[in-house]
Chains A and B, each alone.
Chain A
């Protein structure tokens, strides 16, 4: 072994890489600056939420808390007042859960079947249907606001959580259908043909062949929908009543109170609490998200 290595002269084996080449310094330097830029506001929010009001009044927003207190977090969750209710964000949190869970499930179920039908069963008028659906993605929401108020009132769902669930499901349909259609189009067509010869029909192929192959795209759709619906403010404020306000609307009401002292620490804590759900989703499924986007959404 030693003889063999000694016998060779000149470059051999893996090429050595310098840790501090000029290229690396530029790349890592840029990344560090950008990361700092994005993390700074988050840092300010976290430290502020852990300070008491006297400390905040000193005005050193970048200074870490001298005396750490979780009082603002408790207050934001359970005691902050919005209008008549003084039970904090907790009510809005549960409203948002009740809105998000059914909206995500229903919209993904319908959109995946839509996408599957559009990709694999070329029914008459499929192209027209698809064009109309995609066109729907470009209509500004503001145009639809009032007509939907009237429609929800006529079917007696205005102001209820279910009314908002329907609105979210419908508005998620174009982009989700596009996502699923492109993903199913990218799966080999011969699999579908083989399943047809094997006697599987529409639902059989969907559940037994397509679904097991589509986990990445379902994760993508789930992330898009959970974050989109959780972060929604416009539909929440228009289609619900104070009792059923989602968390974002309540957050706004807490932060924008005009009476009394501005409790910056409570505001920061409330904002972080509201953003926690999308944040957790990204951290847990980030890897699958990237893979699914690469597999389905870009290609096709």
Chain B
């Protein structure tokens, strides 16, 4: 049985169509990340699942039950918000138990659940404090605890780490992953941070303009982007795109020909015409890796950006400027000429009109 199932979901605010004919099924225990830039409808979709927004059309099932018209509290979900949304006048304990008191649970049951959540999240010493006396990381733990005590099957996270500083974000990210492995709940997680998405997700749904552009494992999303938008969105620094033509299996652009041997074309997609090739900066071979590259060419280095672990260079190629990721120990200066290699098997080809993968 699916944990969450969304069928033909539409949501309009007046004339604005925020979500359009959206379909999504999420397996039990899956960690699904909704990823997209702001305004793509990912938070709106989460609010629809939570029941905080009325849908315009379509259905939502949670654990096989049609909850399209159900109250948020009756859907078997817990939700964690970006701004924590802790009740400022209540203690941590009051925050954790508020929902349980509303559900009229017996007092010893409430105490038991609060104690368990506090133990899992290691917030026991904070139970008597008010939210104002907590740090950002502690507040977010309490917010997660509030979802935890509800003993639900589905957790919804709405950009929970966006308000935290970088170090804390990385720590709490690991904790959320750990929590998922421990609890094995279904989790739906909204973020605009692709690192969070890649590290946490079992599957990622990349959204744009209220539609899912691609749904797949992080590995698929990264290696086999189905369209140019996804290819551009995932990866940092982002993929290089070179405009050219495909002529009987050979990609031709200004000053470079790349025979696409080893590229896995879709059935019937390898027609000649205007295409764009996508090369990830880390998939352009330099140094020792050159040996494995089928096509090699020499380029002149324009700009060098050392980051410590890697060194990024800009170099002109095929009529545009490409980013190349080199080993951090390489010594390279602007104006140097270096040899780079391209692996057609790792590249992505898109039709220039439809922007779909070939």
Contacts and interface: CB of A to CB of B under 8 A. Distances in A.
B139 to A, nearest CB: 12
Contacts of B23: none
B276 to A, nearest CB: 41
A13 interface: no
Contacts of B47: 193
Interface in A175-225: 188, 190-191, 193-200, 204, 208-209, 212-213
Interface in B78-93: 78-79, 81-83, 85-89
Contacts of B81: 190, 193-194
B102 A194 contact: no
B208 to A, nearest CB: 25
A190 B52 CA distance: 10
B85 A194 contact: yes
B87 A197 contact: no
A121 to B, nearest CB: 12
Given A197-B73, A200-B98, A204-B102, A213 B52 contact: no
Contacts, number: 57
A209 B82 CA distance: 19
Q: How large is the interface on A (under 10, 10 to 19, 20 to 34, 35 or more residues)?
A: 10 to 19
Interface string B101-144: 01100000000000000000000000000000000000000000
Contacts of A194: 79, 81, 85-87, 146
A265 B35 CA distance: 77
B306 interface: no
B285 to A, nearest CB: 47
A190 B81 CA distance: 7
A194 B139 CA distance: 14
Given A194-B146, A199-B73, A212-B89, 5 more contacts: A190-B82, A193-B52, A193-B79, A194-B79, A198-B98
User: Which 8 A-B pairs give the minimum distances between C-beta atoms?
Assistant: A198-B99, A199-B73, A199-B102, A190-B85, A212-B89, A194-B85, A190-B81, A197-B72
Interface of B: 47, 50-52, 71-73, 77-79, 81-83, 85-89, 98-99, 102-103, 146, 150
